[in-house]
């Protein structure tokens, strides 16, 4: 999630905005939106499916074509090409999306009025999840946020990489021109479907093949041209913008973990242990970055599983491992780099709340999980069908309102001022103590200090990042053809 404090983003898309019903002028043409109702009954305006760029397959994007008619902006546009998420192992793989998918959506509680001065509202720009291979902006309906005086912008972006496609679908990968020519002739669904398995299975070979990549292209305004850790370290990313990072206390509780914990399937456990030395490097994303993946795997197995198999007694250690590797560790390292001379304040928020309905319930696990993956997003967006939604009658309504009020205060002020409970002394993040605030299991608000599980992960990975995983803080080698 990226946050701006004014309407800069809309100066590009809503240039010279005028209101004529729901018709608004943008830089490329007029759009007609619609209205909707927030969770608490507030009317808001929405403009959906506005083109922000166009791009041929595997080519850098350019400005969209202008239009002279009034474009219908009352419905979402299709997502970028991807496999649809399936909740069961027996469900068939389905394809969705179109390559003409570079669109954004704008939601606002107010529009400019002719001949009237309007105070600029703070803007939140939401980058959708999905690991760079799935999901889209339409999944993030901001009706909960529209009870606050902020503008929300969501957008769709292209997913996955070209060269891995070539190997899988039989295209030549030794020559760039030949590879691209071959791939351009393929149906897009033939490029997407062979790579993906089930949403809740990590034991197969073909999973999480893709993710965000550095743009080694000679194009102006490329989004990411080097390793972000390196950008932070060398101060090429501004550290003058306030930053609030939120973490799920057990964010490593991903859908596969719910399946593993709820089924008690000995065959699944055997399958996991048999393939663990292939699974861990691939799933924890060090298969390519580690100088010796086997050494990293052995150190992980020794630390978290006493060098033995994963079993019913220690399987939750896999949750702690995934939590640190994917969430806590990267956030802490980013914060440490951000914490330099003349830095803007950072705030760390740990979410331990146990909801009435969480991601574990969706996948059949009814045990207690503090801050599971995706639960925090369900407090911010309805996120159906994975979650039932949170209305005024829900046990989670108060927590959802409190969290959004807190985030809205940060978006507006650069400081999270709208806290609750007795804890008032939320100090900016300091790498020396790594403390922050916590939303507790029952929804209370208190001080947070690093847990034993965090310290364990830090003690394991800090030396790895200086040795076997040192390349993760450097630019990867540029692929050549």
Nearest in space to 256 (alpha carbons), one of 375, 351, 360, 329: 360
DSSP structure string for 253-311: --HHHHHHHHH--HHHHHHHHHTHHHHHHHHTT-TTT-S-HHHHHHHHHHHHHTTS---
Q: Residues 61, 180: one domain?
A: yes
How far is Cα 2 from Cα 155, in angstroms, rounded to an integer? 12
pLDDT means over runs of 10, the chain (481 residues): 42 45 86 96 96 81 91 90 63 72 93 78 87 77 97 83 59 68 70 53 50 68 83 82 93 84 81 89 90 97 95 92 94 87 88 95 90 94 90 97 97 94 91 92 95 95 96 80 47
Indicate whether 210 belongs to any domain.
no
Per-residue pLDDT, 16: 44
Q: Which of 195, 218, 241 is the last residue of a domain?
A: 195
Instruction: Determine, yes or no, domain membership for 35.
Output: yes
Question: Looking at residue 31, what is its pLDDT?
Answer: 95
Does one domain contain both 232 and 131? no
Total tally of structural domains belonging to the chain: 2
- Name the residue with tokens 């469900």: 91
CA angle 323/329/334 to nearest 5° reads 140
Long-range contacts of 444-450 (CB under 8 A, 24+ apart): 445/402, 445/419, 445/420, 445/421, 446/421, 447/423, 448/348, 448/349, 448/350
> 439 and 317 in one domain?
yes
Domain co-membership, 182 together with 81 = yes
CA distance 348 to 243: 9
Query: Does 336 map to a domain?
Result: yes
- DSSP string across 106-136: EEES----TT---PPPPEEEEE--STTTS--
Which residue in 416, 421, 414 sits closest to 398, CA to CA? 421
Q: Could you tell me if residue 201 is inside a domain?
A: no
Pair 168, 194: CB distance under 8 Å: yes
221 occurs within a structural domain: no
Q: Are residues 173 and 304 in the same domain?
A: no
189, 237: one domain: no
**CB distance 404 to 148 below 8 Å:** yes
Q: Which domain holds residue 279?
A: 228-473
Most distant CA pair in the chain: distance in Å? 72
**pLDDT of res. 85:** 64
Residue 111 falls inside a structural domain = yes
Residues 397 and 454 placed together within one structural domain of the fold = yes
Residues 6+ apart with CB under 8 A from 431: 332, 335, 336, 339
Dihedral sign, Cα of residue 379, residue 383, residue 385, residue 390: positive
435 φ/ψ sector (left φ>0, alpha ψ -120 to 50, else beta): beta
Sign of CA dihedral 183, 187, 188, 190: negative
d(CA 141, CA 152): 10
The answer to whether residue 324 sits within a structural domain is yes
Q: How far is CA 28 from the centre of its chain?
A: 29
pLDDT attached to residue 18: 44
Question: Would you state the pLDDT for residue 264?
Answer: 74
- How far, CA to CA in Å, does 155 sit from each of 76, 212, 318, 463? 10, 16, 33, 38
Q: Please give the span between the terminal C-alpha atoms of the chain, in angstroms, as a whole number.
A: 35
pTM (predicted TM-score): 0.85
Q: Give the CATH number, domain containing residue 171.
A: 3.40.50.1820
CA 398 to CA 428: how far, in whole Å?
A: 25
How would you class 162 by CB atoms within 10 Å of its CB: exposed for 0-12, middle for 13-18, buried for 19 or more? middle
**Tell me, what's the pLDDT at 272?**
87
- Residues found in the chain: 481
Residue 117 CB partners (closer than 8 Å, separation 6+): none
- Quote the DSSP letter at residue 37: E
Give CA–CA dist 411/409, Å, rounded: 5
| Together in a domain, 251 and 377 | yes
Q: Which residues have a Cβ under 8 Å from the Cβ of 441 and sit 6 or more positions away?
A: 352, 353, 354, 370
Positive or negative torsion for Cα 350, 352, 355, 357: positive
Last residue of a domain, one of 154, 173, 195: 195
Report pLDDT for 224: 81
Question: Does one domain contain both 275 and 399?
Answer: yes
**Both 128 and 249 in a single domain?**
no
Same domain membership, residue 140 and residue 80: yes
232 and 167, same domain (yes or no) = no
215 within domain boundaries: no
């Amino acid at each position: 999630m990226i946050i701006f404090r004014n309407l800069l983003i809309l100066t590009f898309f809503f240039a010279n905005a005028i209101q004529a019903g729901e018709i608004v002028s943008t830089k490329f043409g007029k759009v007609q939106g619609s209205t909707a109702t927030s969770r608490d009954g507030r009317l808001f305006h929405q403009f959906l499916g506005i083109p922000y760029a166009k791009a041929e397959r595997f080519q850098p994007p350019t400005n969209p074509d202008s239009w002279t008619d009034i474009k219908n902006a009352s419905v979402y546009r299709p997502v970028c090409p991807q496999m649809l998420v399936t909740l069961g192992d027996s469900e068939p793989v389905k394809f969705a999306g179109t390559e003409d998918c570079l669109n954004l959506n704008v939601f606002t509680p107010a529009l400019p009025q002719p001949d009237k001065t309007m105070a600029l509202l703070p803007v939140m720009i939401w980058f959708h999840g999905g690991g760079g291979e799935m999901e889209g902006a339409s999944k993030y309906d901001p009706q909960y946020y529209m009870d606050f005086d902020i503008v929300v912008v969501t957008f769709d972006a292209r997913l996955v990489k070209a060269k891995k496609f070539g190997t899988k679908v039989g295209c030549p990968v030794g020559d760039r021109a030949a590879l691209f020519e071959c791939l351009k002739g393929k149906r897009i669904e033939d490029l997407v479907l062979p790579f993906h398995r089930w949403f809740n299975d990590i034991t197969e070979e073909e999973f999480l093949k893709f993710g965000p990549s550095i743009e080694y292209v000679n194009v102006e305004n490329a989004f990411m041209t080097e390793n972000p850790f390196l950008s932070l370290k060398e101060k090429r990313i501004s550290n003058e913008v306030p930053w609030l990072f939120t973490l799920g206390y057990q964010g490593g509780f991903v859908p596969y973990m719910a399946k593993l914990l709820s089924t008690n399937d000995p065959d699944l456990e055997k399958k996991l242990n048999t393939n663990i030395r292939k699974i861990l490097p691939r799933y924890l994303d060090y298969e390519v970055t580690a100088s010796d993946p086997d050494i990293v795997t052995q150190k992980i197995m020794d630390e978290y599983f006493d060098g033995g198999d994963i079993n019913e007694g220690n399987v939750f250690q896999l949750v702690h491992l995934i939590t640190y590797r994917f969430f806590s560790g990267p956030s802490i390292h980013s914060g440490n780099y951000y914490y330099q001379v003349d830095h803007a304040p950072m705030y760390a928020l740990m979410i331990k709340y146990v909801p009435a309905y969480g991601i574990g319930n969706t996948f059949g696990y009814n045990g207690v999980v503090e801050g599971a993956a995706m639960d925090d997003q369900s407090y911010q967006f309805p996120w159906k069908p994975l979650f039932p939604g949170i209305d005024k009658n829900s046990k989670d309504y108060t927590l959802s309102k409190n969290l959004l009020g807190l985030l809205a205060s940060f978006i507006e002020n650069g400081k999270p001022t709208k806290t609750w409970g007795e804890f008032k002394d939320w100090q900016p993040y300091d790498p020396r103590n790594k403390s922050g605030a916590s939303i507790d299991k029952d929804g209370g608000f208190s001080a947070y200090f690093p847990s034993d599980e965090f310290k364990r992960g830090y003690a394991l990975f800090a030396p790895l990042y200086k040795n076997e995983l040192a390349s993760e803080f450097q630019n990867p080698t540029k692929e050549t053809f």
